[in-house]
Amino acid sequence: MKKRILITGSGGREHALAWKLSQSPEAGELFIAPGNAGTSAIGENVPLAAGDVDALVAFALENRIDFTVVGPDDALAAGVVNAFEDAGLKIFGPRRESARLESSKAFAKSFMRRHGIPTAAYAEFTDFQTARAYCAAAAYPLVVKADGLALGKGVVIVANPAEAETALRQCMEDRVFGDAGARVVVEEFLTGVECSLHALVDGRQALLFPDCRDHKKAYDGDLGPNTGGMGTISPSGSVHDSLREVIRREILDRFLTGLQCDGLDFRGMLFPGLMLTADGPKVLEFNCRWGDPETQVLVRRLKSDLLPLLEATAAGRLDGCHAEWREESAVCVVLASGGYPGPVEKGKPISGLAEAAAGESVEIFHAGTRIQGPETITNGGRVLGVTALGQSLGAARSAAYAAADHIGFEGVQMRSDIGRCPA
Ligand code: AMP
Ligand code: GLY
């Protein structure tokens, strides 16, 4: 019997997951809550938010959903997996207790320290004056991080005690990130190139995916404010076989041992952000979900059927599973609304989608889009992710940019150097 699948979320990541899962021979009807214009072309959009846990459980029970895949981090932190499993429903993602590895940076840092996972040296504080005194005597630069989820905005790199004080005050006293800033982590500044890792973790073992690189800054040359991600490449070009073995041994194996020691039941996607330093790879953060836009390039390279891999992960039986990957490179270029990551205007008609999609090896994943009458209109900060495969990174990049150039909407903003920065 074909399986009825629910995907929660509305971004490019969720469209990419829906696209890949819809190709599974075992996939039946696909539902996306709440989805976007792109997902409505391959499944049925359900008008429920990814964080509306009770309503999602009720929907899944009523509609005999066989398997659910969670997109965003805040739904995991809110316990959507606990609620589904308690209702006897199968779901992909870690339970709330394990999702704390993403939703509390202090929890993640103490986990890493306890289990010998390489990461930046740090101290944590709940008292503003104590944090300020620590920063007054520290070496710079330093990194000040809000403990909780802050929409990717809770990390500030500070160059001197005055900047540190401002960052601490905004976080701890002014509470610009709400309760997420009640506790802070102050961390050693690491230098190197960044890369994104993904691994399916079934509680006892891990299946490591190819590496990717995100481009988090808004503008060319890695300038401007941090965003959710303006584009990705896979492979990153920085992780050769011997480094992959170091990552496996020092990060993944120690992570798995740590789960056992701490009695944490982690079944889902582990996505560590890494800094590749002169002293080896170090974990900047753990994410407990698929990256966005990392997912877009990963699904383009994955040859295997994704559905059985996710089901095996959720069931705690990844043994014997393996994934096949295309040798080609994949590139994703994000088209965002003008002003992103700040406030944006929505509702702008999008042109050129069909022409862009006609490009060889091109797939377009929607993020902030919506159907209005005969038109597809913008509906958020990141609007589209244009992806392409190529025999080389350069070929994939050329194909992605050639496709992206067909697309227009008022205020469109994209980086022109995805895959070329850092040079
Ligand atoms: P995070 O959310 O912790 O991954 O931080 C967001 C971004 O801040 C990372 O992608 C890095 O670019 C930067 N960052 C975080 N921690 C550090 C660190 N210890 N040293 C240098 N840069 C950092
Ligand atoms: N692209 C980075 C993230 O998903 O956190």
CATH label of the domain that carries residue 339: 3.30.470.20
Q: Which residues of 139-152 are buried (b: 16+ CB within 10 A; e: fewer)?
A: eeebbbbbbbbbee
Asked if residue 167 has pLDDT above 80, the reply is yes
Task: Flag whether 419 is in a domain.
Answer: no
Please tell me the number of the ligand nearest to residue 284's CA.
1
Expressed in angstroms and rounded, the spacing between residue 2 Cα and the centre of ligand 1 is: 42
Task: Flag whether 148 is in a domain.
Answer: yes
pLDDT (mean) for 74-103? 97
Q: Do 207 and 146 reside in the same domain of the chain? A: no
Q: Do 149 and 262 reside in the same domain of the chain? A: no
Question: Tokens standing for 83?
Answer: 């609620």
Q: Do 275 and 169 reside in the same domain of the chain? A: no
Site to probe by mutation for ligand 2, drawn from 292, 295, 418 as the one with most ligand atoms within 8 Å of Cβ, is 292
Residue 41 DSSP class: G
Q: Do 174 and 283 reside in the same domain of the chain? A: no
Cβ of 287 closer than 6 Å to ligand 2, yes or no, is: yes
pLDDT score for 90: 98
* CATH code of residue 87: 3.40.50.20
Number of domains into which the chain is organized: 3
pLDDT (mean) for 298-317? 98
The residue that leads in pLDDT, 280 or 360, is 280
Asked if residue 17 has pLDDT above 80, the reply is yes
Q: What range does the domain containing 140 cover?
A: 127-182
* CATH code of residue 147: 3.30.1490.20
Q: Do 267 and 153 reside in the same domain of the chain? A: no
pLDDT score for 360: 84
Question: Tokens standing for 369?
Answer: 């889009």
Give which of 194, 152, 222 is closest to 416, Cα–Cα: 222
| Rounded Cα–Cα distance for residues 146 and 148 (Å) | 6
* Span 102-120, pLDDT tens digits: 999 999 999 999 999 999 9
* Span 374-402, pLDDT tens digits: 999 999 999 999 999 999 999 999 999 99
Cβ of 284 closer than 6 Å to ligand 1, yes or no, is: yes
Write the residue with the smallest CA distance to atom 4 of ligand 2.
291
Asked if residue 152 has pLDDT above 80, the reply is no
Expressed in angstroms and rounded, the spacing between residue 282 Cα and the centre of ligand 1 is: 11
Asked if residue 355 lies in contact with residue 325, where contact means CB atoms within 8 angstroms, the answer is no
- Give me the phi and psi of 213, to 5 degrees please: -130, 130
Q: Taking the CA atoms of the chain, what radius of gyration do you get in angstroms? A: 21
* Span 200-214, pLDDT tens digits: 999 999 999 999 999
Query: Residue 120 CA: which ligand 1 atom is closest?
Result: 19
- Residue 138, number of CB atoms within 10 A of its CB: 16
Cβ of 291 closer than 6 Å to ligand 2, yes or no, is: yes
Asked if residue 423 has pLDDT above 80, the reply is no
- Give me the phi and psi of 255, to 5 degrees please: -60, -45
pLDDT score for 359: 85
Task: Flag whether 89 is in a domain.
Answer: yes
Write the residue with the smallest CA distance to atom 5 of ligand 2.
291
Q: Do 202 and 177 reside in the same domain of the chain? A: no
Q: Do 238 and 150 reside in the same domain of the chain? A: no
Write the residue with the smallest CA distance to atom 3 of ligand 2.
291
Give the confidence band of 186 by pLDDT, cuts at 50, 70, 90.
very high
Cβ of 73 closer than 6 Å to ligand 2, yes or no, is: no
Query: Residue 189 CA: which ligand 1 atom is closest?
Result: 20
Give which of 356, 355, 354, 336 is closest to 346, Cα–Cα: 336
Q: Do 159 and 282 reside in the same domain of the chain? A: no
| Rounded Cα–Cα distance for residues 352 and 356 (Å) | 6
pLDDT (mean) for 334-357? 97
Q: Do 167 and 224 reside in the same domain of the chain? A: no
Residue type, 18: A
Task: Flag whether 212 is in a domain.
Answer: yes
Query: Residue 287 CA: which ligand 2 atom is closest?
Result: 5
Asked if residue 422 has pLDDT above 90, the reply is no
Write the residue with the smallest CA distance to atom 9 of ligand 1.
284
Please tell me the number of the ligand nearest to residue 283's CA.
1
Task: Flag whether 58 is in a domain.
Answer: yes
Site to probe by mutation for ligand 2, drawn from 214, 236, 269, 289 as the one with most ligand atoms within 8 Å of Cβ, is 214
Please report, for residues 316, 353, 369, the alpha-carbon distance to residue 337 in angstroms, rounded to integers and kept in the order given: 40, 16, 11
Give the confidence band of 322 by pLDDT, cuts at 50, 70, 90.
very high
Cβ of 273 closer than 6 Å to ligand 1, yes or no, is: yes
Asked if residue 98 has pLDDT above 80, the reply is yes
Residues facing residue 184 across a β-bridge: 125, 146
Cβ of 131 closer than 6 Å to ligand 1, yes or no, is: no
Residues facing residue 68 across a β-bridge: 6, 91
Q: Do 395 and 276 reside in the same domain of the chain? A: yes
Q: Do 172 and 197 reside in the same domain of the chain? A: no
Expressed in angstroms and rounded, the spacing between residue 108 Cα and the centre of ligand 1 is: 14
Cβ of 292 closer than 6 Å to ligand 2, yes or no, is: yes
Site to probe by mutation for ligand 1, drawn from 73, 117, 155 as the one with most ligand atoms within 8 Å of Cβ, is 155
pLDDT (mean) for 64-79? 96
Asked if residue 220 has pLDDT above 80, the reply is yes
pLDDT (mean) for 86-100? 98
Site to probe by mutation for ligand 1, drawn from 236, 284, 294 as the one with most ligand atoms within 8 Å of Cβ, is 284
Torsion of CA 23, 24, 30, 35, to 10 degrees: -50
Q: Do 327 and 245 reside in the same domain of the chain? A: yes
Site to probe by mutation for ligand 2, drawn from 102, 230, 294 as the one with most ligand atoms within 8 Å of Cβ, is 294
pLDDT score for 150: 87
Cβ of 313 closer than 6 Å to ligand 2, yes or no, is: no
Query: Residue 289 CA: which ligand 2 atom is closest?
Result: 4
Expressed in angstroms and rounded, the spacing between residue 140 Cα and the centre of ligand 2 is: 26
Task: Flag whether 102 is in a domain.
Answer: no
Give which of 274, 299, 268, 300 is closest to 286, Cα–Cα: 274
Give the confidence band of 151 by pLDDT, cuts at 50, 70, 90.
confident
Of the chain, the percentage scoring pLDDT greater than 90 comes to 97
Of the chain, the percentage scoring pLDDT greater than 70 comes to 100
Task: Flag whether 259 is in a domain.
Answer: yes
- Give me the phi and psi of 372, to 5 degrees please: -135, 105
Expressed in angstroms and rounded, the spacing between residue 243 Cα and the centre of ligand 1 is: 20
pLDDT (mean) for 280-284? 98
Write the residue with the smallest CA distance to atom 15 of ligand 1.
284
Task: Flag whether 122 is in a domain.
Answer: no
